[in-house]
Structure 1
Amino acid sequence: MPELELFSIFTSRLNKANINYFVTGAVASIIYGEPRLTYDIDLVVELGRSDAVKFMEAFPNDPTDPIDPMTQWTQQTQPVKS
């Protein structure tokens, strides 16, 4: 999924759930500073106790769920035995 489309899906769901967030990292740098190449989007999401349920409802199990790179890596690799 293209990064801009994923960004739009994610932020529209946060907006609809009335959850505060801000953009950081390279995407923020591109918007507010100097353009540069990036393949990720860094967001900081403010979640209080009452926001946790809203967040889970905004992101049901679907293809936009974040993937933990370590879990993915350990599932695809084998340990080296010495």
Structure 2
Amino acid sequence: MGSKPRLLVIVENFEGWERGADCGNDLDFMISHGGKISKIAIVAEPRWETLALAFAGAGFRRAPVKFFPSAELEQA
């Protein structure tokens, strides 16, 4: 078998979540496939770093989660 896939999340034009927004599909994906991912990189504006890492479960999942400012997309 090959190596585990990596996940790259690119956040563009994001203004935030609405109260009561349905995030069920995102959570279902992470519950079903989260253990199969070797690492996660999130690229977004720096103001979203704390929320993005929290939403991705940084520190609570096996795969490391790292944030990159939009200007560092190539490094991600």
TM-score range, shorter-chain basis?
under 0.3
More strand, by proportion: 2
Greater Rg over alpha carbons, structure: 1
TM-score by length of 1: 0.25
